[in-house]
Amino acid sequence: MQDKQLGSYRISAIGFGGAPLSVPGRPDRERAMKTIKEAWENGITFFDTADTYSLNEHDLGHNEQLFADSLPSAPGCVIATKSGLARPDGAWTRSAHPRSLRAACERSLTLLRRDVHPLYYLHAPDPEVPFAESFGELSRLQEEGKIEHLGLSNVSVAECEAALDIANVAAVQNRYHLFERSSSDVLAFCESRRILFVAYSPFGGPGQSSRLRQDPLLQDLASAYEASPYQIVLAWMMARSPQLLPIPGATRPDSIRDSAQAVRLRLSSEDLAKLDAHDTPSAR
């Protein structure tokens, strides 16, 4: 599998997003662990999790525990996690007070059985807390040796710039896919600063994957390249920018195996141009 650079780490060009394994609708533990191991066995070395990938506030750390149990001693494995959200009664809320971030960071180290986080994100800015206070606390945790590389998630260009006034940023994770490109300006900013842009929900998120299977252009390209529509989308994303790294999720081993194989695809410049212009799903 091709590699990307994340600070001091060489990681796979496609990562694995762990959220579907722990949120409502999740698979049982056995299938979840098989899915994670399948990703690793197919060349994926970059795994994405968060303390709040869970059912609710009583289930925090579920996803991190899955990764720790599935990949206890995998050499070269990079597990990135985040804090800054909360799950009261299963809702998603922002919670990026410095005390909360510190407690979450330390709890995640214990769950992941790590001495230091290779990459730790602010999951989202909290409108109730000054951004500099939230990201500044992560910078202090980095200075204390608990975080190696800092990341941001769900941010604007202005917030990226504000963060860089405080500390170096190794990665930015925003939603980005064929039919959702509102973070194109953030991607361009990351390219200009050589920051890794990690694209979550590359297939559109929960309940949206059918749009890809039913899209005429993707169907035609999948047939032409003897690939799945999902592989076509991932190949297009990787060709968009050397800084872009998609992290598809999966709840079944065969799904993540399919995604991992997208690194072998090389779309023609003509087909890439068709996809560049194809930002709205269509139907026959």
**In this structure, which amino acid lies at residue 46?**
F
- 200 phi/psi in degrees, rounded to 5: -95, 160
| Rounded CA separation 79/45 (Å) | 8
> Do strands 78-83 and 85-86 pair parallel, antiparallel, or not at all (unpaired)?
unpaired
pLDDT at residue 7, rounded to an integer: 85
Locate tokens 């600063």: which residue?
Answer: 193
What letter represents residue 35's amino acid? Answer: T
- Cα dist. 230→75, 141, 225, 263, 267 in Å? 28, 38, 12, 12, 13
User: Which of the four pLDDT bands, split at 50, 70 and 90, describes residue 190?
Assistant: very high
Give the ranges where 113-177 is alpha helix by DSSP (H). Answer: 131-143, 157-164
Give the pLDDT band of residue 73 (cuts 50, 70, 90). confident
Cα 155 from Cα 244, distance rounded (Å): 16
User: For the residues 168-196, what does the mean pLDDT come to?
Assistant: 98
Each residue's pLDDT tens digit, 120-135: 999 999 999 999 999 9
On whether the CB atoms of residues 117 and 142 are closer than 8 A, the answer is: no
pTM summary value: 0.97
SS3 for 55? Answer: coil
pLDDT digits (tens, 9 = 90+) for 160-171: 999 999 999 999
- Under a CB-based contact definition with an 8 Å cutoff, are residues 125 and 155 in contact? yes
In Å, how far are 58, 202, 266 from 246, measured between CA atoms? Answer: 30, 6, 16
Pairing of the two strands 9-12 and 16-17: unpaired
Residue 209 has pLDDT above 90, yes or no: no
Closest CA to 147 of 177, 167, 130: 167
Range 4-277 has CATH code 3.20.20.100? yes
Has residue 34 got a pLDDT over 70? Answer: yes
Please give, one letter per residue, the 3-state secondary structure of 233-268. HHHHHHHHCCCEEEECECCCHHHHHHHHHHHHCCCC
pLDDT of 220 higher than 70? yes
Q: What letter represents residue 208's amino acid? A: Q
Write the single-letter amino acid at 256.
I
Q: Is the pLDDT of residue 284 over 60?
A: no
